[in-house]
Structure 1
Amino acid sequence: MRLEDALFNWLQIRLVADARQEDKAARDTLAFFEEILRDDHGLTSFEIEKSDETMLHVRYMKEGRSLLKLVPREAGEQLLHDINATPKYNEA
């Protein structure tokens, strides 16, 4: 998986896991993508640095360099919106 794809997938599931803290599947999937970012791509840290009206700012460290990836907010939040819009994922 390309770094850009792994970062995007991590971002989406991070937003889901943050919003749905009781969701074990989301936490497990988040851990999976964190492992890919560390083991396959050599990232030493990655975080959502900030968000504004249009973009999500993902800061990550690779080979001692701090890098920033901007992701359109709508795209980054799409998975969370899709999950929240699906009744079977929102039953108590």
Structure 2
Amino acid sequence: MMSLQDKLYNWITIKVVTDERPHDTAASDTRKMFEQLLADEHGIVEPSFTTDEEMYYISVEVDKETKTYRFPRELIEVMLKQICDEPEKYVNYPDS
């Protein structure tokens, strides 16, 4: 079972991709899945995030307490970098 931190890591990683590739249906579906998991399992409806030169900071409210998680940009942006470096491997197939 994934921890809250794992789910937030996966969510922000795929959110970065969908922000750059809004028509990527696979990425969009994956982001929605993680948002649903966060809502269903942790009651988190709208995680917010900020970023600086080194980190992503995600703030969520859990049990009426705000918690902040941080992840290195390099770790979060690796998937987007792979997609940009080899776009032929990440073709978007539209819904039929």
Fold match by TM threshold 0.5: yes
Q: Which stretches in structure 1 are left out of the alignment for 5+ residues?
A: none
Residue 36 (1) aligns with residue 30 (2): no
| SS of 1:56 mapped into structure 2 | strand
Residue 16 (1) aligns with residue 12 (2): no
Residue 66 (1) aligns with residue 55 (2): no
TM-score w.r.t. length of structure 2: 0.85
Aligned match of 1:25? 26
Please tell me the residue identity of whatever aligns with 1:31: K
Alignment of 1:47-62 (within 5 A): 47-48=48-49, 50-62=50-62
TM-score w.r.t. length of structure 1: 0.88
| SS of 2:32 mapped into structure 1 | helix
CA distance in 1, matches of 2:62, 2:46: 8
RMSD: 1.5
Q: Which stretches in structure 2 are left out of the alignment for 5+ residues?
A: none
Any idea what the Cα deviations from partners look like across 1:43-67, whole Å, max 9, x if unmatched? Answer: 243022x211101111111111111
* Number of matched pairs: 90
Shift in Å at residue 90 of structure 1?
5.7
Aligned-pair identity (%):
36
